[in-house]
Amino acid sequence: MSGRADFREPNAEVPRPIPHIGADYIPTEEERRVFAECNDESFWFRSVPLAATSMLITQGLISKGILSSHPRYGSIPKLIFACIMGYFAGKLSYVKTCQEKFKNLENSPLGEALRSGQARRSSPAGHYSQKSRYDSNVSGHSSFVTSPAADNIEKEMLPHYEPIPFSASINESTPTGITDHIAQVKVNKYGDTWDE
């Protein structure tokens, strides 16, 4: 015995360190190619169609009178806004596809960082999803309550709330007991006020 306790699970996978990808990171040639490809594809296949569609819908709403046009500039400000929103929506909608392209790159620090980040979020079988053998006793209890007697005390101390039934009818839209009573306040010529 070495004197140190080993708390690792016997068959647990040791996670690989995530490569440092910061502002000073210089992408490889393959990563630059994928960046350019993602930029090009997101523009032509997502941003342009969404911008054009949003502009057409906006113009249709303006011509039907649902949206009003500007008195001086007409429909131009709303069309520009719709175009910008469509452009950014197209770019954002392509992010997952672009991430997948980077994950498929071999020998890419950026792809490795994305793959290892994905592995930690999805908790695959192995190190991240295995429960400790010490956690099995307290899985049904909060972290501070460990005995049945403490459970009973906790249940007695907490207030017990009954659910309020929801009614969608118009005449029962407010809970009972709550009224919209407004007190009548009188004011004399000197500015003094009193309730009736």
pLDDT single digits (tens) 53-83: 999 999 999 999 999 999 999 999 999 999 9
Distance of alpha carbon 145 from alpha carbon 159, whole angstroms: 17
Higher-confidence residue of 8 and 64: namely 64
Q: What is the pLDDT of residue 64?
A: 96
CB 17 within 8 A of CB 115: no
Higher-confidence residue of 138 and 153: namely 153
Q: What is the pLDDT of residue 143?
A: 45
Residue 186 pairs in a beta bridge with 194
CB 25 within 8 A of CB 31: no
- Map tokens 């079988």 to a residue: 125
Kindly state the percentage of the chain with pLDDT values over 90: 40
Query: Which is nearest to 90 in space by CA: 54, 137, 43, 29?
Result: 43
0.75 surpassed by pTM: no
Distance of alpha carbon 37 from alpha carbon 43, whole angstroms: 10
Q: What is the pLDDT of residue 136?
A: 44
The DSSP-derived string for 79-131 is HHHHHHHHHHHHHHHTHHHHHHHHHT-TT-HHHHHHHHHHHHHH--TTTTTPP
Tens of pLDDT, residue by residue over 108-137, are: 898 898 888 866 665 444 444 444 444 444
